[in-house]
Amino acid sequence: MASGIRDKVAILGMGCSRFGERWDMGAEELLVEAFQECLADAGIEKDRIQAAWLGHCLEETGLGKSSTPLGVALRLPNIPITRTENFCATGTDAFRGAVYAVASGAYDICLAIGVEKLKDTGYGGLPNSGSNFGSLAWQWFPNGSAPGLFAQLASAYAAKFRVSDKDLKRAIGHVSVKSHANGALNPKAHLRKAVTIEQVLAAPIIAHPLGLFDCCGVSDGSACAIVTTPEIAKSLGKNDIISVKALQLAVSSGYEAGFNEWDGEHFVTTSKCSTRAYEEAGIANPREEISMMELHDCFSITELVTYEDLHISERGRAWKDALDGFYDRDGKVPAQVDGGLKCFGHPIGASGLRMIYEMYLQLLGRAGERQLKNPRYGLTHNLGGFPHQNVCAISIIGRYEN
């Protein structure tokens, strides 16, 4: 009978490039930057790696459709490499492939790595999404934009829970201020400047009620992990072992877009995915047991709604928890400790692994100025696609327990 993967797989090492406008590097060089840190952290030679998963979403602007560039860039020893693409969950899905491969017993040591090179397009948002939706993209969503679609999420949330426009703007504004404060402490973050709530509220509106500071940008970057079994990690001299407690993926069934029962103020996939993740990790009360989170804050409203979909805030109360500082760095459950998508950056294929990287650093006490006190469980959350059709990925990691 299926038993999940709790404590079956250990993270041997992790690495992350600096995120930002990396005009000096191509996607291959970013892979190398992240991999060198990861390999040194793991303390092994690269010929010990038996299989790899490459997360790369938008092939038109980066490495192309194949997995070959990873083998060439890292000079991997002719091992199997699988390219993974799953919207903004791409990095976590690559991690999932490597983790499941080790948990199955097929391999001893595997690599998961993600990369995206987006700034070279010269475009402020994501490139043409035709590769993901086919040639009918402009007929399906002729007037669609990411800010517009997520602004509808904000409007639906405010309408259902009768939150005034003023209160909602202040709540999502606080989410952004918190992330900027955290990002300012992170030397690898794309945006490292704190902002005030006054600046956020006075910023130009992109799609009401979302202003400039409520929207994350796009970035160049790479992140990676080497995973193995706890037994092998111990044999390699690892004393403080970080293991995977849960790893779940949920993809929309189409229900949200096809029926009137979904009122557009939450994400069905996140609610279901998180429930399964908590069960796999043995977590009964996430509000009390989760120590820290990295959430998919493509927009500030997405982060706020996710507090509820993760069953940490009660329905309709996340905006109050946000204003009360519950998710601040010194709050009960700190979120976006490294700055999040909003400030660390969002190179799509790397984002999921970047989130796990921060949780890993925090659990090992290596987060410098951002370091939290005695974290136990770290949760990461990705959301790819649109509010009515999306994919959700959740990981939970913590110290290995025999």
Give the pLDDT score at 2.
82
Give the pLDDT score at 136.
44
* 3-class DSSP assignment, residue 253: coil
Judgement on whether residues 34 and 62 belong to the same structural domain of the protein: yes
Judgement on whether residues 159 and 297 belong to the same structural domain of the protein: yes
Of residues 203 and 146, more confidence is placed in 203
Give the pLDDT score at 135.
45
Of residues 260 and 241, more confidence is placed in 241
Give the pLDDT score at 158.
98
β-pairing, 292-294 vs 377-386, is parallel
Judgement on whether residues 224 and 363 belong to the same structural domain of the protein: no
pLDDT in tens, 292-343: 999 999 999 999 999 999 999 999 999 999 999 999 999 999 999 999 999 9
* Within a domain: 129: no
Judgement on whether residues 154 and 205 belong to the same structural domain of the protein: yes
Domains contained in the chain, number = 2
d(CA 43, CA 58): 32
* 3-class DSSP assignment, residue 402: coil
d(CA 141, CA 146): 11
Sheet with 242-251, edge to edge strand ranges: 81-84, 51-55, 110-116, 221-228, 10-16, 242-251, 389-399, 377-386, 292-294
Give the pLDDT score at 152.
93
pLDDT in tens, 388-402: 889 999 999 999 987
Give the pLDDT score at 123.
59
CA distances from 33 to 74, 193, 206, 339, 380 (A): 10, 24, 34, 20, 23
Judgement on whether residues 65 and 173 belong to the same structural domain of the protein: no
Judgement on whether residues 38 and 157 belong to the same structural domain of the protein: no
Give the pLDDT score at 143.
59
* Within a domain: 138: no
**Residue 113 β-bridge partners:** 54, 224
Q: What is the pTM of this model?
A: 0.96
